[in-house]
Structure 1
Amino acid sequence: MQPTIYDVAKKAGVSIATVSKVINNNGRIGKDTRKKVLKIMEELNYHPSVLASGLTRKRTETIGVLIPDLANPFFAEITASMEERAHELGLSVVICSTNDSEEKEAKYISLLMRKKVDGCILASRFTQVSLIENMIKQGIPVALTSQDIPSLNLNTVSVDDYKGGYQATAHLASLGHKKIATIAEKNVRSSHERIKGYMDAMIEKGLAVEDTYIVEVEPTVKGGKEAAERLLTSEDPPTAIFAGNDILAIGVSQGARACQLEIPNDFSVVGFDNTLLATICDPPLTTIAQPIQQIGRQIVDVLVSEINGELDYKQRIMLPPELVVRESTKKLFENKVSIKTTIEK
């Protein structure tokens, strides 16, 4: 016989109303009480009926998450964090990977609306603002992370991209590098902020900002590698590169090796995100850490608060990045010979 809400309330020593509030994540419930009820639910293997809940409260206890690429370690990690937090709150998650395709954006938004999700988190680089506006008109709360759409008043949780770009560049400058380039993801607002941070750090340190040292590419290993090779075989090659994410940084490292450069003795590289890639590559990558777990959990909490009608205003939460120094950066000695610029065949 399947356990009921009455069994949970009896064993936890609380009222049925209290159990209901824990299940639906509403009302004022003490942290210890909530934890106790959730533990009893797990012990009894009790699962509230999503269908019944939806019929009585017009909710499905489901949220949608749209990301650009699940193969990207950053989005894989942040999605896992969102899913974990949603599970703790008794919610199911529908994950949709758009691959930056407008067709897929429209398809998945339509799917999520048919499923009557209670809310939606957009981590994808959404290009069709009208689709988001339609969701909002239909009364579906929408929250953003890893991006911002200034024309829409939405709850947002992100990292301070400008500060991260500044920190990465300032770190390289502190090591004596004067010729610092940046390779960023193109057509993304967060990348533009990181480039602004790079430029301001260069100016503040009295270093020249060369147009040729600012390159925007697709966010792939291949894109980073090819861009690095072009820079390193130019007439005035940089001695260090700030890459806009860890994937690009891996590509930059491959490009440097193709030019017969040893990292960090001949050349330094800094990434952005601090994904698993940064710790397993050789050498381990100096990078700007985003608080990925915190972002994922907090965006779910903000969305759920809006779903529950607990917010009187939209929140734009910006979390601080942190420089993590590993082995891909090293002090540049003034008497160092010019770097090699021959690509291995």
Structure 2
Amino acid sequence: MKSVTLKDVAKAAGVSYATVSRALSGSPQIGSDTRERIIKLCDEMGYTTNYVARSMVMKKTDLIGLVVPSVDNQFMSELAYHAEMSARAHGYNIMLCNSGPDLKQEKTVVKLLLGRQVDGILIVPQGPQTYENIRAYADQVPTVFVSENLRDQPQSYVTVDNSRGTYIGTKYLYELGHRDILYFGRRHTTTHQLRAEGYMRACQELGLQQRFFNSEYSRSSINNGYQMARDLFSRPIDYTAIFASTDSHALGVMRAADELRIDIPGHLSLIGFDNIPSAELPRIELTTIEQPLREMAVQAVDMLRDKIEHGTQGYVHQILLPGLVKRGTCRTLD
């Protein structure tokens, strides 16, 4: 099938190729009536801009690659939404890639984005190995890491203060009267190591015993949280509260508790981390630590645009503050 070209539009409109080109670029040399007639004709004929040809002339694609480990994760999908809205507001389009749990696949999608000549890359890394895994490619294009603390690595990133989040959540449970608080979840990434550290720091300050139930899974999901919770609840429950490392894990705990007739918050208080959309649904109303997702996405896009448009060198480490969202899964002990 033959695609519609500018020459086809010009012929149908009875004007020159240059007139059509100027009309579509918004040139003030073209009257509003002519511009509207040409734009309407383009729409009727099905004309679309040839971005490949345009990028060869402009040396710019206006395309940003976004790499996430799992697009079916609510946290990742909401982050991707806010990143796309922010990028679009500044004239960029997003090319979304799912890297999965495999470092080899993560490198493959980064190479794919470079081959597509994206202007820059936003990446939610799989873990601490990601930086070294893609370093040779990240050095070739403006890159910003999102939602993972790379500590002192010389790359720009935007994340939340994960340690502070679990610290304030643990203190909140303590203020409600809880003295036996179980930390439930992952420790595979720097992000989750920091969350565990915040819990441990609060326990040390408050004189509480540290209690862990660690995940064997490399990613967070409701089903993984459910399978872990079934195992956990097969043992004596000698704690009054659970701090889940993610909301997905917390929802898995709620599902297992419901099946086993363990009342939340009657028998157990529960707090999560992330504040994904499902957390505020009726009959869930999960108390959680909120990551400022929209702010994180906007700042990451702005940081990347600065690199793309101004050739900014060096790197920036931006760490945002989390917040406690009180809902219905935590209760005060008598």
Q: TM-score, normalised by structure 1?
A: 0.79
Equivalent residues of 2:170, 2:199 under 8 A apart: yes
Equivalent residues of 1:256, 1:267 under 8 A apart: no
Distance between the aligned counterparts of 1:255 and 1:173, measured in 2? Answer: 24
Instruction: Write the deviation string for residues 254-311 of structure 1: whole angstroms up to 9, x where unpaired.
Output: 2222332111111110011111110126231000011011111110110110112353
- Equivalent of residue 132 in structure 1, options 121, 131, 134: 134
Give the C-alpha shift of residue 231 in structure 1.
3.3
Distance between the aligned counterparts of 1:141 and 1:331, measured in 2? Answer: 49
Runs of 5+ unmatched residues, structure 2: 1-12, 14-19, 33-38
Q: Does 1:4 align with 2:24?
A: yes
1:223 aligns to what? 224
Equivalent residues of 2:111, 2:137 under 8 A apart: no
Q: How does 1:184-263 map to 2 (within 5 A)?
A: 184-210=185-211, 213-218=212-217, 219-235=220-236, 237-263=238-264
Equivalent residues of 2:187, 2:196 under 8 A apart: no
Paired residue secondary structure (1:318): strand
Equivalent residues of 2:170, 2:202 under 8 A apart: yes
1:228 counterpart letter in structure 2: A
Per the alignment, do residues 55 and 224 of structure 1 end up closer, same or farther by CA in structure 2, a change over 3 Å counting?
Answer: same
Worse-superposed segment, 53-62 or 191-200: 53-62
Q: Specify the structure having the higher radius of gyration (Cα).
A: 2
Per the alignment, do residues 316 and 9 of structure 1 end up closer, same or farther by CA in structure 2, a change over 3 Å counting?
Answer: farther
Count how many residue pairs are aligned between Structure 1 and Structure 2: 300
Worse-superposed segment, 266-275 or 181-190: 181-190
Per the alignment, do residues 49 and 282 of structure 1 end up closer, same or farther by CA in structure 2, a change over 3 Å counting?
Answer: same
Give the C-alpha shift of residue 140 in structure 1.
0.6
Per the alignment, do residues 194 and 332 of structure 1 end up closer, same or farther by CA in structure 2, a change over 3 Å counting?
Answer: same
Paired residue secondary structure (1:96): strand
Worse-superposed segment, 322-331 or 124-133: 124-133
1:140 counterpart letter in structure 2: V
Equivalent residues of 2:178, 2:333 under 8 A apart: yes
1:324 aligns to what? 325
Distance between the aligned counterparts of 1:249 and 1:9, measured in 2? Answer: 60
1:159 aligns to what? 160
1:55 aligns to what? 56
Moved beyond 6 Å, runs of 4+? 9-12, 44-49
Distance between the aligned counterparts of 1:180 and 1:11, measured in 2? Answer: 70
Distance between the aligned counterparts of 1:295 and 1:10, measured in 2? Answer: 41
Give the C-alpha shift of residue 5 in structure 1.
2.8
Distance between the aligned counterparts of 1:6 and 1:95, measured in 2? Answer: 29
Instruction: Write the deviation string for residues 30-65 of structure 1: whole angstroms up to 9, x where unpaired.
Output: xxxxxxxxxxx9xx9999864455234422111111
Per the alignment, do residues 68 and 298 of structure 1 end up closer, same or farther by CA in structure 2, a change over 3 Å counting?
Answer: same
Q: TM-score, normalised by structure 2?
A: 0.82
Distance between the aligned counterparts of 2:282 and 2:26, measured in 1? Answer: 53
2:105 counterpart letter in structure 1: K
Give the C-alpha shift of residue 216 in structure 1.
2.6
Give the C-alpha shift of residue 332 in structure 1.
1.6
Distance between the aligned counterparts of 2:79 and 2:31, measured in 1? Answer: 36
Let me know the Cα RMSD of the aligned residues.
Answer: 2.5
Equivalent residues of 2:62, 2:92 under 8 A apart: yes
Paired residue secondary structure (1:264): coil
Give the C-alpha shift of residue 128 in structure 1.
4.5
2:179 aligns to what? 178
* Aligned-residue identity in percent: 27
Worse-superposed segment, 218-227 or 83-92: 218-227
